[in-house]
């Protein structure tokens, strides 16, 4: 295990070079032609034979030196966000309206670093490296999981790292059970006859109804979230377009985050009741639509405990930080963990002076985290 840490550190500068190249050329969504080609080229140069499919990512299978019938599946996401970068980094994004604000460039570089080490220092277990597109909102994990390299029979353990922009560099945040939340989106449509602005008593006003729904949704969250964290946030309102007409329609959109299936169901039912009650009270029609998002990321307790035990035997022992509560972030690595037991960890990567969380247009990451991330992948390739 200690050897894996030293091996990862030995390729730190190599990983930084690849990370910066990837950072400068971000791509959004499922189809990432330049990124796909880049990853394939690096893997080919290392002597790995890759499997790749359009909009489905790149995978490589590396034979183990002491296979035990369990495959280690290591995953990194590849897609950027539709954000215009606002940093002063010399390697900032050159793509208009795209930025690796969530740190997926670091994730790719870490896994490439592991791939380089494993060419000369093979994993103990048979290992599959999976580079996945479309994590942010396209369920890219589902298409990547269809790779021949990932449709093998038998047991496996899945592992992934996600950088955390506000955690100390090199810290390893982990917890058994729910690690990241369920995530859904909602739309509320309000409708009525509309009317003249001088006659508000004659018709219902979608603006008033939407305001009441937004305020009462906060109260619903407090009631349901008394025992565990719940998020229901209105993020978009589209109602009205002039000063002298009461609009006939309006809509709200937003995000839901929950930690259990039961709480999710309670929240959604409560929202249906709320929308119906408020719409009726304002003489309007109201309809709530739930857009099903990602399942929760659920870490297998045995895998987390074994990882902690292994890390305690290394110089990274003091870097392990238990997470008292799950993160309300969502992640489609959840689909990997629905197929195999495994774990995801947060890896601290807060750069000096950075106060922004992942997804911000000015977020900056500490590249020293790359060696720790690669070491974690290497340890997972040997078995956790």
Would you name the residues annotated as active-site residues? Answer: 79, 135
Q: Three-class SS of residue 180?
A: strand
Which pair of structure tokens corresponds to residue 252? 């709200």
Which pair of structure tokens corresponds to residue 11? 């390729």
Which pair of structure tokens corresponds to residue 364? 């900056």
Residue 17: CB partners within 8 Å, gap ≥ 6?
none
The structure tokens 């219902």 sit at: 204
DSSP string, 41-109: HHHHHTTPPEEEETTTEEEEEE--SS--SEEEEEEEE--BBS-------TT---STT-B-TTSHHHHHH
Q: Give me the long-range contacts of 206-209 (CB less than 8 A, separation at least 24).
A: 206/239, 206/240, 206/247, 206/248, 206/249, 206/250, 206/282, 206/284, 207/239, 207/240, 207/246, 207/247, 207/250, 208/282, 209/250, 209/278, 209/279, 209/281, 209/282, 209/284, 209/286
Cβ atoms of residues 236 and 216 within 8 Å: no
Cα–Cα distance for residue pair 260/182, rounded to 1 Å? 7
**Quick one: how far is CA 95 from the chain centroid?**
21
Cα–Cα distance for residue pair 128/267, rounded to 1 Å? 38
Beta bridge partners of 257: 183, 231
Listed residue (102, 116, 83, 97) closest to 17, CA to CA: 116
């Amino acid at each position: 295990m200690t050897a894996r840490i030293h091996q990862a550190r030995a390729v730190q500068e190599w990983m930084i070079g690849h990370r910066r190249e990837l950072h400068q050329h971000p791509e959004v969504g499922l189809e990432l032609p330049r990124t796909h080609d880049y990853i394939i080229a690096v893997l080919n140069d290392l002597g790995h034979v890759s499997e790749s499919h359009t909009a489905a990512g790149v995978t490589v299978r590396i034979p183990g030196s002491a296979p035990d019938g369990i495959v280690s599946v290591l995953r990194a996401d590849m897609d950027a966000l539709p954000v215009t970068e606002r940093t002063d980094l010399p390697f900032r994004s050159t793509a208009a309206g795209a930025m690796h604000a969530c740190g997926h460039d670091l994730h790719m570089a870490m896994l490439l670093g592991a791939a380089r080490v494993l060419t000369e220092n093979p994993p103990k277990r048979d290992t599959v490296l999976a580079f996945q597109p479309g994590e942010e909102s396209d369920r890219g994990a589902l298409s990547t999981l269809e790779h021949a390299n990932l449709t093998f029979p038998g047991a496996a353990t899945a592992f992934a790292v996600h950088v955390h922009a506000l955690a100390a560099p090199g810290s390893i945040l982990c917890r058994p059970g729910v690690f990241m939340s369920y995530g859904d989106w909602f739309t509320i449509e309000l409708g009525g006859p509309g009317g003249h602005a001088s006659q508000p008593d004659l018709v219902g006003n979608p603006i008033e109804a939407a305001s009441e729904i937004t305020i009462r949704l906060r109260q619903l969250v407090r009631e349901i979230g008394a025992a565990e964290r719940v998020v229901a946030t209105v993020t978009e309102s589209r109602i009205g377009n002039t000063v002298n007409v009461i609009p006939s329609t309006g809509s709200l959109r937003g995000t839901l985050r929950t930690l259990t299936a039961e709480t999710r169901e309670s929240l959604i039912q409560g929202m249906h009741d709320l929308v119906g009650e408020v719409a009726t009270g304002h003489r309007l029609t109201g309809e709530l639509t739930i857009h099903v998002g990602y399942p929760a990321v659920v870490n297998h307790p045995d895998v987390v405990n074994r990882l902690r035990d292994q890390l305690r035997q290394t110089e990274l022992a003091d870097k392990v930080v238990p997470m008292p509560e799950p993160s309300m972030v969502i992640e489609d690595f959840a689909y990997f963990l629905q197929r195999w037991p495994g774990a995801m960890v947060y890896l601290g990567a807060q750069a000096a002076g950075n106060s922004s969380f992942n997804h911000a247009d000015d977020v900056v990451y500490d590249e020293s985290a790359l060696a720790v991330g690669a070491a974690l992948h290497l340890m997972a390739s040997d078995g956790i």
